[in-house]
Chain A
Amino acid sequence: MKNVMEIKDFYFTYPKAPKPTLKNINLNIEENKITALIGPSGCGKSTLLRSLNRIQDLYPGNKYDGEILLKINDKMENILEYKKENKLIELRQRVGMIFQKPTPFPMSIFDNVAYGLKFAGIKSKSEIEGRVEKALQGAALWSEVKDRLKESALGMSGGQQQRLCIARAIAVEPEVLLFDEPTSALDPISTAAIEELVVELKERVSIAIVTHNMQQASRISDYTAFMYLGDLVEFGETEQIFLNPKEKQTEDYITGRFG
């Protein structure tokens, strides 16, 4: 088994917070697998996910300790050592992110999907068009939007917008995709479509997904990490975590005895 990311003795502290929000996290993200992060609200799932592409660096004053390694050309690099903006830009091109609420940009559907490409150094018009089509197909959206690529993305339904965001993220061909509760703002049918899509995507990318939906985690993930109050309580194969948890806390949480 090969890991695309390895989190080692990781601590995270928000600016001015007296104590770290994440403590001593050790976790691997395996290649072409789906790793689910579960746990009660406020336990630090989003914080951990947002450390993996350093998006929290948009706001100054965060403190990172330990290591987060990312495989780049078969070598593991510690992304916490990145200081310059262009290193962080490269990191985010390798590690994409989808948010809870769909975040279409106020521009056409085509321009939304093409947005990341120019920063990845892709200039040729025909290549951009090819990549946009491929990404929309990959996000199971092409047939619905191929005749309205020039229309504003803001006119799409919520489920379509979320798939557009996925298309936008996969257009730059990242190695890892991070999903932070991607279906919690969607109806059941759109949710099913996104779930199906996520499973298909693991052929091409490695995935970490935060979810509050236990069924969702058990349906789609290969590995599950249970977090509680900033600690990683238990990590293992999804089947084992759900059928045979080692820790009492994990069992209580997934059986719904607290949450």
Chain B
Amino acid sequence: MSSSSLRDSIASDALSVSIRGLARSFGERRVLNDVSLEIAQGEIVALIGPSGCGKSTLLRHIGGLDTPTAGSITIGDAPVTGLDARSAIAFQEPRLLPWRSLTRNVEVGLPRTRRAASDRERVSHLLELVKLSESAHLRPREISGGMAQRVSLARALARQPGVLLLDEPFGALDALTRLAMQDLLLELHAAEPATIVIVTHDVDEALYLADRVVLLGSSPADSADAVSSVRATVTVPGHRPRDRGSADLAVLRAELLEGLGVATHHLPVTSSS
């Protein structure tokens, strides 16, 4: 497959994202406070943090699905004020329409303004990329959780977004498919850079994919109030594709796991964040 046909599959201009002083409370419960983050055009940023710390909430704000209590988000040079066509989100749950075939589910992602024969081709191309061509005619109840996640990813890619928001897109995949999908994402990104924000629980995945890893969470100091903000931002050294076993990454990995509160039994390292 030539990279020009790939360009057709996710062709759009990457857009920068700027989050300034974002706070979000649900009633009394403060989830996010003073989150600020600048994401460059075409950058891949991984969000990690303990369960319930507000990763999905932050992602939903970037996608315009939720309104901040304070602060602002800008994509490109226009603020996000509501649902935003410049971004596409793959939710933490696959959210497939049960009465549609996989093909027709991916079609939901097509930009609504223009639908042509070429779009149909793109849909089948995307299904091929996520290795689901054989199953394209099936209904969601007939497929596994991991397959559903890949459909959801293909649907988000169909949107050709400037900002791609992925909420644990590979969480339900077996180890081998997960690695393959990570490589697929990187290839797509190399062919036509979109800005990607990816939420993950997997530190290795974050280090393999991202330019920067953002650790979200509450500081241990005010543990009574578990409100999250950006605890650390780690710039991952080197260029993609990275060596999954590199020593540099091992150090960062230990640091990030430490940040997540996982004892790594490594020698203490000096912070580079």
Is the A/B pair a real complex? no
List B residues at the A interface (Cβ < 8 Å).
none
List A residues at the B interface (Cβ < 8 Å).
none
